[in-house]
Amino acid sequence: MSVKRTTINYSLFLGLLLTLFALHSCQENDRRLPILGPREVQAGDTLYHTIPDFAFVDQDSSLVTPETFKGDIYVADFFFTSCPTICPKMKSQMLRVYDKYKGNEHVKFLSHSIDPAHDTVAVLKDYADRLGVDSDKWHFITGDREAIFDIAQNSYMTSALEDENEPGGLVHSGAFLLIDSQRRVRGHYDGTKPEEVDQLMQDIDLLLEEEKKTSDEG
C-alpha cells in the first residue's frame, strides 16, 4: 500500500513539475521588454515616450535622422573620443555587441559625441576606422552640443553635461540604450559592465523576435 501511494505521489509530483516547467517556458517565450519613460493615456490609448526628431552628421558627413533607423532597432550611447575614463571600456564592450550583430541588417548603433568642438567629422572618421567598423552600421555623430546634451537627458534619459571638475571637462553616463523601431526606449544597461552587456545582447534577441512577430501579424 505504501509503495503504491509513493508511486502515485511521485507521479503527481512529476506531473506538477512538468506543468510548472511548461508554464515557465511559455512565460519566457512570451516575455516582452518593458517600455521605459513617461507615458500618458489619451482617448483610451497609451502614448509612450519616444525619441523625437533629430538631425546630426556622422563620420561620413552623412545626415543621420530617425529615418536612418526606420524599421530597425539600435543601441545608442554618449561618449567623446578624448575621454580618459570610461569611454575605452564602453567601446570595447560595444564592439562585442557590434561583432555579434554585424551580419544582422536590422540592428544598428548610434554613438553621440558630447565634444563636437574636438570631435569633428574627420576625427570621428579616424576613430571609427581604428575600431574597424562599418559606417552604415555604426554611426558616430556630431552636432550642436546643447542639442546633444538635451537629447541625452530628455530623450534617452541619461546624463551628458559639461563639468570642469571631471577629466576632459565633460561627464556622461556609461549607459547603453536599446531603442525599438518605434523609437521607444526598451532597455538601459551599464556599458562598463560585461554582465549587463550580456543582458543587452539577450534583450536584443528578444526584441528582434518581438519585432518580427509584430511585422508578421501586421
Report d(CA 54, CA 142) in Å as an integer: 12
Residue 201 — pLDDT band, cuts 50, 70, 90? very high
Position 30 confidence tier, pLDDT thresholds 50, 70, 90: low
Residue 162 — very low, low, confident or very high, per pLDDT cuts 50/70/90?
confident
Q: Which one, of 212, 159, 204, 140, lies nearest residue 178 by Cα?
A: 204
Residue 188 known to bind ligand: no
Mean pLDDT for the stretch of residues 186-197: 98
pLDDT score of 43? 87
Pairwise pLDDT comparison (44 vs 123), residue with the higher score:
123
Give the span between the Cα atoms of 179 and 137, in whole angstroms.
15
83 labelled as ligand-binding? yes
Q: Which residue has the higher pLDDT, 209 or 14?
A: 209
Q: Is 26 within any annotated ligand binding site?
A: no
Concatenated DSSP letters for 12-53?
HHHHHHHHHHHHHHHHHHH------S-EEEETTEEEEP----
Is residue 63 predicted with pLDDT exceeding 50?
A: yes
In the three-class reduction of DSSP (H, G, I as helix; E, B as strand; rest coil), residue 165 is classed as coil
Read off the pLDDT of each residue in 93-100 and give the average, rounded to a whole number.
98
Closest CA to 78 of 100, 56, 101, 104: 56
pLDDT of 6 above 60: no
Q: Residue 213: is its pLDDT beyond 80?
A: yes
pLDDT at 108 over 90: yes
178 residue type, one letter: L
Phi, psi angles (nearest 5°) of residue 103: -95, 0
- Residue 171 banded pLDDT, cuts 50, 70, 90: confident
Tracing cell 575621454 back to the chain, one arrives at 83
Please give the mean pLDDT across all residues of the chain.
88
Mean pLDDT of 117-130: 97
